[in-house]
Amino acid sequence: MKRVIVGLSGGVDSSVAAYLLQQQGYEVIGLFMKNWHDTSVTISDECPWLEDSNDAMLVAEKLGIPFQVVDLSEQYKECIVDYMFREYELGRTPNPDVLCNREIKFDVFMKIALELGADYVATGHYCRKSEEEINGKPIYKLLAGKDSNKDQSYFLCQLSQEQLSKSLFPIGELTKPEVRTIAAGLDLITAEKKDSQGLCFIGKVRLPEFLQQQLKPKEGVIVQIPDTFEKYHQPLPKFQNKEAELRYKSTDFNYKISDGKVVGKHFGAYYFTIGQRKGLHIGGTIEPLFVINTDVANNVIFVGEGAHHPGLKRKVLQVQNEEVHWIREDLKLNKGESLKVKARIRYRQQLSKAVVYQFKSGLYVEFENDQSAITKGQFAAWYMEDELLGSGVIS
């Protein structure tokens, strides 16, 4: 009998995952990851780990499976929290959920599970896995979940073949309502529980307060760039080759204060992210203002009016070579090669037609249509049909 260790989070998805594995004849053990102690920055009592671990324990009792709690808060702080501070300080917007899966759930947690004699680790992610033999060796594929509204494959875009080989995603074939129905039928305490939000395992965090633990507030100016800004309307130069064109089109506009007008003050450029409109506290415009760029070196935020401001729109992004990750290593591009794909730059975004190019200078994703608020530090992920092939950190 194969042994599976399920990451029971105290939510409905992992509860039903454990039940389904039991039905499939696995020996199932529930493990709750405790990753956070500091409740001073979480909002109210949402998602405190104590309540979640209690719910996870009650589910394990109901299903009659062994249960224990592992404390990974040290590794979580090191891999996730410190990384978040570093990225924000550099003026990038990190994605802790993607990192948490790569570094914690499918690494630290997986190692603990394998030490406990597990054959597999399972989670309540809405995604699927399949296996195919290619050139005589097994290749694992990460597929989107059946519930297109809840597909979470994006969060697993950094997993490796090795990690996938040991992973199971029992609810990937189900929709969220189906999962809730199963949980209600079993009378599980998590059946009606709201989905957790915010940072994985921390809960809803007040981000500025969270960041202020390390990044001290400092006053700077907010500068509004008009949509008549000359660089938006320059004719494109002649390019020697495709690589030069992509490099040009993926390069940020370097705004200066003199390019616009000062419209307000802020308390730290690193608390803001591209595309953000909340927290600027500036009125008097017809349409809301959006952050179009941040300059953390000089502590300036640049904003544009309206969701269609040209400063928010770009078609090309770059990923540094060392940040390129292929789940399907067998499909990895060599220098000078390209591949037609569908891609997204954030979770829950519709997939858009794109071409991935690999050059000596890096990997580029060129979208057919404009993308709004391409953000440094976030992950771009590219797919063929419903299979996630690879991903990379937007530079």
What tens digit of pLDDT does each residue of 198-209 get?
555 455 566 667
For residues 20-30, average pLDDT? 98
User: Which pLDDT score, from 0 to 100, does residue 42 have?
Assistant: 54
Short-list 151, 111, 91, 357, CA closest to 245:
357
What would the pLDDT profile of 315-357 be if each residue is shown by its tens digit?
Answer: 999 999 999 999 999 999 999 999 999 999 999 899 999 999 9
pLDDT above 90 (res 77): no
| CA 109/CA 5 separation, integer angstroms | 10
Which of the residues are catalytic? 100, 200
Count CB neighbours of 103 within 10 A: 19
| pLDDT over 90 percentage in the chain | 84
Domains identified in the chain and CATH numbers: 3-212 (3.40.50.620), 220-239+251-311 (2.30.30.280), 314-394 (2.40.30.10)
User: Which pLDDT score, from 0 to 100, does residue 90 have?
Assistant: 92
For residues 42-48, average pLDDT? 53
User: Which pLDDT score, from 0 to 100, does residue 201 have?
Assistant: 47
pTM to 2 decimal places: 0.93
DSSP state of 308: T
Instruction: Work out the mean pLDDT of the chain and round it to a whole number.
Output: 93
What would the pLDDT profile of 163-220 be if each residue is shown by its tens digit?
Answer: 999 999 999 999 999 999 999 999 999 999 888 765 554 555 666 677 888 889 999 9
User: Which pLDDT score, from 0 to 100, does residue 203 have?
Assistant: 52
Q: Do 368 and 374 contact (CB within 8 A), yes or no?
A: no
pLDDT above 90 (res 369): yes
| CA 339/CA 342 separation, integer angstroms | 10
Q: Find the helix or strand (DSSP H, E) in which 142 lies.
A: strand 137-144
User: Which pLDDT score, from 0 to 100, does residue 76 have?
Assistant: 87
